Chain A
Amino acid sequence: MSLKHAVEKQLAALALPLVGPVVVQASDAREQAELELAELDRLGASVARLVVSSTCLAGVELERLRALGEQLARQLTYLLEPLRVIECDGESCAVQMRSSQPHREGDDRFFYELWLRRGGQMELVRWHTVPGAVKEQVPMQLTREILLRLVDDLQQAAWDLREAEKI
C-alpha cells in the first residue's frame, strides 16, 4: 500500500466534520506522513502542517536536495502558487522553497513554504503576512484530492531521488 492510500485510510477513519487540531500519522515501508489537521470535512481539509519523511533522503547531499527542490517546483503546479528554491544551506543541509510570488489579498499576503532536509523530512506549511507585522503560520486549504496528490508527489520525488543516487 502506498503512502497516499495509507493517509486516505486514516482520513476515512475520522468522524466528520472534524474540528482539530488533530495529528494524523500514516506510514508505509519507507515513508511516513504526518498531518496536523485544523479541520476536515467530506470535500477538503484545513492542514496546519504536512510532513512527509523518507529514508531516501537520509544521507543526501545538498546539491541533490536542491535538484529535488527544482523537480518539486516543476511538479507542484496544482497549488496555484508556483514554488521556487529560495535558500540552500550547506551547514544544516536544507533547502527552503517558497511560493515564487506570494498570493495577495489587499494588504494580506499568503505563501507556501516547503523545507527539504537531509534527515529525510519534507515539510509544507503556509504563512500569512501583513505589512509591519511578523508573519504567522496559517492552515492550508486543500481538497482531499489535492492533499493526497501532494503526499503522493512528495513520496514519488523521494523515490526518484533515491534512484538518481543509485545511478
Chain B
Amino acid sequence: MLQIEQDHHRFRQIVRGKIRQNLRKYMSQGELIGRKGKQLISIPVPQLDVPHFRYGEKGSGGVGQGEGEVGTPLGPGQGQQDGPGQAGSEPGEHMLEVEVTLEELAQIMAEELELPRIQPKGQDSIHEEKYRYNTIRGTGPESLRHFKRTYLQALRRQIASGTYDPRRPRVIPFREDRRYRSWTVTREPIANAAIIYMMDVSGSMTDDQKRIVRTEAFWIDTWIKSQYEGVQRRYIIHDALAREVDEETFYRTRESGGTRISTAYEVCLQLIRQHYPPEQWNIYCFQFSDGDNWGEDNRRSIRLLREQIAPLVNLFCYGQVESPYGSGDYLRALESAVVPYHDNVITSQIPDEEAIYDSIRTFLGKGK
C-alpha cells in the first residue's frame, strides 16, 4: 500500500469516527436530507483538527526568551481580560465537509446503533430478464451489422487464404464474413423490498411532527436500501380518508379531516395485494401518527393490522409522534391488542427530535 493510500485510509477512519461521534445529532436534526446526492452525502464535520502551528502574539517574545521562573505560564500577559467585543470582519471558521457514500453512512449507523443485518423473509431478490447486445453472431438483420468485425473477419480470411496483398490492401467482405451484433439474456435483480410509509396528516399533526417523520424515514431508507439490492417506496397519507401519494406530497400535505387509521391500513393492504406478493417481497411498513385516532376506529384498525397486515409483512413499525396536544391512546391500544401476538409489530414513542435515534434503534434492532 502506498503511503498516500495509508494516509487516506487513516483520514477516512478519523472522519468515520467523527461521524459516529455526532451521529445522534445528525439523526435528530435532519439536515442531512438536503445534503443527499444520488450516491454521496455531504456531511459537515465539526472540530476535525488538522495539526498546524500556532503563533504567539507579535512583539511578545518567543518561547524561552526573557526572564521568568520555572512554572511561569507562557502566553498572553496579565491584564488582558475576556469580555464582549466587536463583531469581526474576517470570515469565521468553516466546518469541514466530507462526502461519504450512502452505504458507508448505513454502515456507520449500523455500527453505532448495533443494528443486526436483516434476514430477508421473501426471496433474496426479484429478477427481471434484461437483453444486452454484447455478443457477435454470423447471422442477423442488416441493421445490426458490425462493420469493424466484418472487416476483420474478411481480412483474416484473405490473409489465411493468401489473397491479401499488402501493396494493394483491398479487403472485400464476402457474405460469410459478415458479423452481426447479438444479445444475451441476463437475469438482473430489480427489487426485493418494499417500504410502505403511512402518515396521519389530520389537523392535529403539525409541521414539527412531519419533520420528525421525514428525518426518521431518511434513516430508515438509508438502512433498508443498504440491505437489499432494490427497494421500492410507497407513501400513504390519511385523515378520515386515505390515498397513495408521491414522496413530496407525503411530507407537505395537511388536511383538516378527522383521524381514521383504518383507512390507511386498507390502502396499504390493497397495495400489498396488487403489487407485492408477500412470498416474493420483503415488505416493511412504517406508520406515523399522533395517536389521536377517532374513538370508534381503533377496533377496526387493530383488527386489520392484527389479522391481515401483520401476517404479510416482515416488519410493521408504528411511531407515535407527539403533537402540541400530546400523545393519543392508539399506541396503548396497539401495545395491548397487537404487539403480544406479532413479534414483527414494533411500536415506538417519539416525543421530539432527540428521540429519533432510539426510535430507529427500536424499529430496526430486531434484524427482520
A166, B325: Cα distance in complex, Å:
37
Point out the residue from A88, A111, A130 that lies within 8 Å of B325, measured CB to CB: A111
Q: Check B158 for interface membership: any CB of A closer than 8 A.
A: no
Closest to A86 in B: B203
Residue in B258, B260, B322 whose beta carbon sits within 8 Å of that of A96 in the complex: B258
B190 to chain A, nearest CB (A): 40
Known: A88-B256, A109-B325, A135-B325. 20 other contacts (CB 8 A): A86-B203, A86-B256, A87-B203, A87-B204, A87-B256, A87-B257, A87-B258, A87-B259, A88-B257, A89-B257, A92-B296, A94-B294, A101-B324, A102-B324, A127-B326, A129-B325, A129-B327, A132-B327, A134-B328, A135-B328
* CB neighbours of B258 from chain A (8 A): 87-89, 91-92, 94, 96
The answer to whether A90 and B257 touch across the interface, beta carbons within 8 angstroms, is yes
Residues of A within 8 A of B325 (CB): 98, 102, 109, 111, 127, 129, 135
Are A135 and B240 in contact, with the CB atoms below 8 A?
no
Say how far B361's CB is from chain A's closest CB, in angstroms: 16
- A99-135: which have CB < 8 Å to B? 101-102, 109, 111, 127, 129-135
**Contact residues of B between 309 and 345, Cβ < 8 Å to A:** 322, 324-329, 331-332
The CA of A130 and the CA of B322, in the complex, are separated in Å by 10
Answer whether A134 and B203 are a contact pair too, CB < 8 Å, given A85-B256, A89-B240: no
A91 touching B240 in the complex, CB below 8 Å, given contacts A96-B258, A132-B351: yes
- Distance in angstroms from B262 CB to nearest chain A CB is 11
**Could you say which residues of chain A place their CB within 8 Å of the CB of B240?**
89-91
**A27–B326 Cα gap in the complex (Å)?**
35
Count of residues in A whose CB is under 8 Å from the partner chain: 23
**8 tightest Cβ-Cβ pairs between the two chains A and B:** A129-B326, A89-B258, A135-B326, A86-B203, A87-B203, A131-B351, A132-B351, A87-B258
Bound complex: CA A82 to CA B199 (Å): 28
* Residue in B204, B294, B329 whose beta carbon sits within 8 Å of that of A134 in the complex: B329
Binding site for B on A (CB under 8 A): 85-92, 94, 96, 98, 101-102, 109, 111, 127, 129-135
Residues of B close to A89: CB separation below 8 A: 240, 257-258, 260, 294
**Tally of contact residues, B, Cβ under 8 A:** 25
- Is B202 located at the chain interface by the 8 A CB criterion? yes
| Residues of chain B within 8 A of A86, CB atoms compared | 203-204, 256
Q: Provide the residues of chain A in CB contact with B202, threshold 8 Å.
A: 87
Contact check, A87 vs B326: say whether CB atoms are below 8 A apart: no
Q: How far does the alpha carbon of A127 sit from the alpha carbon of B294 in the complex, in Å?
A: 16
Q: Does B239 contact A (CB under 8 A)?
A: yes
What is the distance, in angstroms, from A134's C-beta to the closest C-beta of chain B? 5
Task: Quote the shortest CB–CB distance from A93 to chain B (angstroms).
Answer: 10
Are B257 and A134 closer than 8 Å at their CB atoms? no
**Subset of 28 A-B contacts with CB under 8 Å:** A85-B203, A85-B256, A86-B203, A86-B256, A87-B257, A87-B259, A88-B256, A88-B257, A89-B240, A89-B294, A91-B240, A92-B294, A94-B294, A96-B203, A96-B258, A98-B325, A102-B324, A102-B325, A109-B324, A129-B327, A131-B351, A132-B349, A132-B351, A134-B291, A134-B327, A134-B329, A134-B331, A135-B325
